[in-house]
Amino acid sequence: GENVEQHPSTLSVQEGDSAVIKCTYSDSASNYFPWYKQELGKGPQLIIDIRSNVGEKKDQRIAVTLNKTAKHFSLHITETQPEDSAVYFCAASKNYGQNFVFGPGTRLSVLP
């Protein structure tokens, strides 16, 4: 079955710097890759997603890149702010929204 790895497990950056989180997946049939942000005491919130027919997607300070050949995708956050501090989860799916396999998560801390 699908296996999703995520690195780093923790990441600390200074406010204003960029943060990059990388995920790798094992199943080449996976075609949908969402990223979720989970703040303490809350459910995961979708922040951006990418499908296998696209190499890059951007939404303001957040971008995701996908390398299908290497089977990895990355989350890029620019101009980080303290409110970006949270746990971020990547996921991979073969059926556009079903049968998600989640990565283990990255705890991002943005230091003021």
Partner 1 sequence: SAVISQKPSRDICQRGTSLTIQCQVDSQVTMMFWYRQQPGQSLTLIATANQGSEATYESGFVIDKFPISRPNLTFSTLTVSNMSPEDSSIYLCSVEGYKGTDTQYFGPGTRLTVL
The interface with partner 1 within residues 14-33 (CB under 8 A) comprises 32
* Binding-site member from 73, 100, 108, 110 for partner 1 (CB under 8 A): 100
Residue 42 interacting with partner 1 (CB under 8 A): yes
Say how far apart CA 54 and CA 66 lie, in whole Å: 7
Query: Judged by CB under 8 A, how many residues of this single chain contact partner 1?
Result: 20
Say how far apart CA 57 and CA 40 lie, in whole Å: 27
* Binding-site member from 40, 43, 53, 83 for partner 1 (CB under 8 A): 43
Say how far apart CA 93 and CA 12 lie, in whole Å: 28
Residue 69 interacting with partner 1 (CB under 8 A): no
* CB-CB contact of 38 with 44 (8 Å): yes
E-assigned strand segments in 8-61: 10-14, 19-25, 32-38, 45-51, 56-59
* Binding-site member from 33, 35, 36, 88 for partner 1 (CB under 8 A): 36
Interacting residues with partner 1 (CB under 8 A): 32, 34, 36, 41-46, 49, 89, 96-100, 102-105
